[in-house]
């Protein structure tokens, strides 16, 4: 929790398998750049 910013990161204590499982269960698909490059090129790096 970041009280100053009023933000909460609810998946901070999940392992990667839990995050991937929840995303898959929700039917969310990754953008094509993950298939091509293994990561996203959203400009936040």
**Three-state SS sequence of the chain:** CECCCCECCCCCCCCHHHHHHHHHHCCCCCCHHHHHHCCCCCCCC
pTM of the model: 0.48
Token output for 6: 């009023």
Is the pLDDT at 44 greater than 70, yes or no? no
Is the pLDDT at 42 greater than 70, yes or no? no
- pLDDT tens-place string over residues 5-38: 888 777 777 888 988 898 899 999 878 887 788 7
């Amino acid at each position: 929790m970041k009280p100053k910013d009023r933000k909460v990161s609810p998946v901070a204590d999940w392992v990667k398998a839990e995050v991937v499982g929840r995303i898959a269960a929700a039917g969310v698909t990754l953008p094509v750049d993950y298939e091509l490059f293994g990561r996203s090129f959203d400009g936040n790096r």
